[in-house]
Amino acid sequence: MKAILMAAGRGTRISRLIANIPKCTLPIFEKPIIRRTVEILQNKNIETAVVVGYQYEKVKDALEGLNVKFYCNPFYDVTNSIGSLWLAKNFMNDDCILMNADVYCSEKILDAIIIDKHDVIMAVDKSRINVGDYFFKTANDCIKKYGKNLPLEDRSGEYVGIAKIKKSFLSEFKGRMDQMLAQQEHDKWWEDVLYSFAEQRDICTVDVNGEFWAEVDYYDDYERILTFANKNK
């Protein structure tokens, strides 16, 4: 199994509050968020790659000493994460976890993703309906609707920022990604490739079941991680 972490973006909603460092390098007890994640993955014998871009040397420094494959997206200011993943697509030749590098999560969430047998699985937090960043509507645990502005009555939970694609689906996935970029859809998220299949096949979800997670979009998210970590030393 492999994993690719997306760490190329600037993080404009928080960058000025954190001295313009990559948000995935924010420390939790002096350990960068991304380093914690990579160490967890590698302890499970998962080969890991990171796509860098903005302040890429700081991300590399945060992972010093770890056996990580790096891909650089020099166009991070004009492409979204679909472009970052495309640059690393040759690394995707086995079951592959895809996640945003600024996600801090319980190891149990990663375990649930790892053991799942579906062709595609995306983590969702069904306890978050009223407030969140990106929502899914699911039926039988499969995605039916998705979006930032999904009406409250259509929300089944908030997307966590982690997915896994089985090797058997990678060819189809990469073909669709190539097609979208050929159509100049470089402003899309990498997840949009998965969403494009939602009407044709099952894009399944797994509930995090109360386990802690946070994606650092705002400084409040970082403070929430620090509070959790302090309570769970």
pLDDT tens, residue by residue, 147-175: 999 999 999 999 999 999 999 999 999 99
- Give bridge partners of residue 207 from the DSSP assignment: 124
What pLDDT is stored for residue 178 in this prediction? 98
Question: For domain 2-231, which architecture applies?
Answer: Alpha-Beta Complex (3.90)
What pLDDT is stored for residue 12 in this prediction? 56
Share of the chain above pLDDT 90, in %: 89
- What average pLDDT does range 92-111 have in this prediction? 98
Name the residue type at position 157.
G
Q: Residue 19: pLDDT above 90? A: no
CA distance 117 to 113: 9
List, for residues 62-95, the tens digit of each pLDDT value.
Answer: 999 999 999 999 999 899 999 999 999 999 999 9
What pLDDT is stored for residue 79 in this prediction? 92
What pLDDT is stored for residue 18 in this prediction? 57
Q: Residue 209: pLDDT above 90? A: no
Confidence category of residue 201, pLDDT binned at 50, 70, 90: very high
Query: Cβ contacts of residue 107 below 8 Å, gap of 6+?
Result: 40
Q: Across the chain, what does the average pLDDT equal?
A: 94
| Helical residues (DSSP H) of 48-130, grouped into ranges | 56-62, 81-87, 107-115
Name the residue type at position 96.
C
Q: To which residue do tokens 């404009």 refer?
A: 12
- What average pLDDT does range 14-26 have in this prediction? 74
CA atoms within 13 A on the CB side of 48: 25
